[in-house]
Amino acid sequence: MPDGISRRQFLHTAAVATAGLVRPSSARTAAPLAELSRKLAGSLIVRGNAGYGQARRVFNGRFDEFPAAVAFCAGEADVQRCIEFARNYALPISVRSGGHDNGGYSTCNDGLVIDLTGINHVRVNPSSQSADVGMGVKIGPLYRELWAHGVTTTAGTCPSVGMGGLTLGGGIGPLVCKYGLACDNVISASVITADGSLLHASAAENADLFWAIRGGGGNFGVVTKIELRVFDVPRVLNGSLVYPSSQYSDVLRFYRDFLQSAPDELKTGLSFDTYVSSPSQLTLSFCYTGDLTKGKRTASALMTFGNPEASTLQAQTPPGAFSESAGPSGIPSFQTGAFFPDLTDDLIDMICACVAAAPPSAEFGFDDLRGASTTGNSAFPIRDRGLSSWISADWARGADGSAAKAWVEQTQEATRPFAQGVYVNRLNEDDRSRDRAAYGASYDRLAMIKAKYDPQNVFRMNQNIPPAI
């Protein structure tokens, strides 16, 4: 009987396995996995164990994979043991922080999932305006922990997204125009590479690796923790405006002109969605960080345009202001994205046409990248001003998602002539041909660094960069 489970649990899972609901571990790895389990400080949930059904799941219900085991790592030694084990038994490795990957790479069939959610500490160092952050922490708890010390940082807006995937791919949040991407604010990192070495990466040490992990995704090793810059942001001004489809074209033209002279203190976003109404509605949201009197002046220039159906404006403290509510886990969803340097008249017309055809529970959203996001010195390749978009559609569990998926693909295709690259964290597994484009001008250097730190492409369950030959 495997370690750590009762006879009752064992009989139950054996019965379920016999009924074909879960596949038992292969004979080749069953005994070695039990051995690995004994060596870990954290826990190993092997296929067939109680809790496996939950452990194998990721945020997006579209992915229904059956890894051989999920290792809930308690620390760096656990991660090292898992990498060694997976290499010895030639198992694919999926690295999981918040489990929100759009390509489903943080789970796999018959491989080993290295789950980092147990490595989730947040320790603020007030003297250096930084925090030590475990890469398994999710955005919501991160903001809350930082705020307990009166500071905040540059992460995303969905509280259940993990800091691991978000930061290594870039990290776009409410402070991006003022303080840059999440990856731009990493001061140093601990990385366990394919050969099991624990390396410290910073501007002074393993500088090539340090450059690569900030935008190059999970290609170079498992990043267990980072030192992150934090900021004093006592309050921000948050607002939103909701418009019906009859005003889309005018609002988009106004918005484009407004952005030309918008201050870096202001981060805006657009979202056309059919979650609450069909046809769609447009929400223009904004967050002003800085002097609130100036913020109100900026906000009023935005808020006086058109005839919004609803509007909000409030001063808020960071945790509440930065995290939207997390959507439910387990809903099947298909997402992709594109970066648009210019909101041209033709693109505006195309967006309006695509949105008019949107199925229920669909979204075409845009993050406005300007200011500090254009200046970072890391592998993140999108350093122009512009709009980073995501195109997504959900469907009910068990329902046919083909129409939703088709709309996402058609919208991506229709807007492709206006796009220049894509934010890597928006890509799905069908986008493999765009992985290279997502790394843009950084690709060749990233492939050289990959060859140095992971020549056998052990970390390939990601928007992959094969090692340069």
Ligand X SMILES: Cc1cc2nc3c(=O)[nH]c(=O)nc-3n(C[C@H](O)[C@H](O)[C@H](O)COP(=O)(O)OP(=O)(O)OC[C@H]3O[C@@H](n4cnc5c(N)ncnc54)[C@H](O)[C@@H]3O)c2cc1C
**Using CB under 6 A as the criterion, which residues of the chain lie in contact with ligand X when the complex forms?**
59, 95-102, 105-106, 116, 135, 156-158, 161-162, 164-166, 168-173, 217-218, 222-223, 327, 425, 461-462
Q: What strands lie across the sheet with 266-273, from one edge to the other?
A: 310-316, 236-243, 281-289, 266-273, 362-369, 386-394, 333-340
**Is the CB of 348 or the CB of 358 nearer to ligand X?**
358
**Is the CB of 173 or the CB of 308 nearer to ligand X?**
173
Cis peptide before 279 (omega within 30 of 0): yes
Give the nearest distance from C-beta 447 to ligand X in angstroms: 17
Give the nearest distance from C-beta 138 to ligand X in angstroms: 7
Residue 334 is inside which H or E element, if any? strand 333-340
Give the nearest distance from C-beta 257 to ligand X in angstroms: 26
Residues paired with residue 13 on neighbouring β-strands, in sequence order: none
**Structure token pair of residue 27:** 């004979």
Residue appearing with tokens 């056309």: 272
Alpha helices in 181-238 (DSSP H): 207-213
Tell me how far apart the alpha carbons of residues 163 and 144 are, in angstroms, rounded to a whole number: 14
Tell me how far apart the alpha carbons of residues 366 and 352 are, in angstroms, rounded to a whole number: 14
Residue nearest to ligand X (CB): 165
**Is the CB of 79 or the CB of 303 nearer to ligand X?**
79
**Is the CB of 130 or the CB of 425 nearer to ligand X?**
425
Give the nearest distance from C-beta 126 to ligand X in angstroms: 25
**Is the CB of 272 or the CB of 308 nearer to ligand X?**
272
Tell me how far apart the alpha carbons of residues 185 and 163 are, in angstroms, rounded to a whole number: 12
**Structure token pair of residue 357:** 């055809």
**Structure token pair of residue 67:** 């890894």
Give the nearest distance from C-beta 459 to ligand X in angstroms: 7
Residue appearing with tokens 């067939």: 48
**Is the CB of 303 or the CB of 382 nearer to ligand X?**
382
Tell me how far apart the alpha carbons of residues 263 and 248 are, in angstroms, rounded to a whole number: 23
**Is the CB of 93 or the CB of 358 nearer to ligand X?**
93
Give the nearest distance from C-beta 102 to ligand X in angstroms: 5
Give the nearest distance from C-beta 464 to ligand X in angstroms: 9
Q: What strands lie across the sheet with 112-115, from one edge to the other?
A: 43-46, 69-72, 112-115, 93-96
What is the gyration radius of the CA atoms in the chain, in angstroms?
Answer: 22
Give the nearest distance from C-beta 171 to ligand X in angstroms: 5
**Is the CB of 294 or the CB of 383 nearer to ligand X?**
383
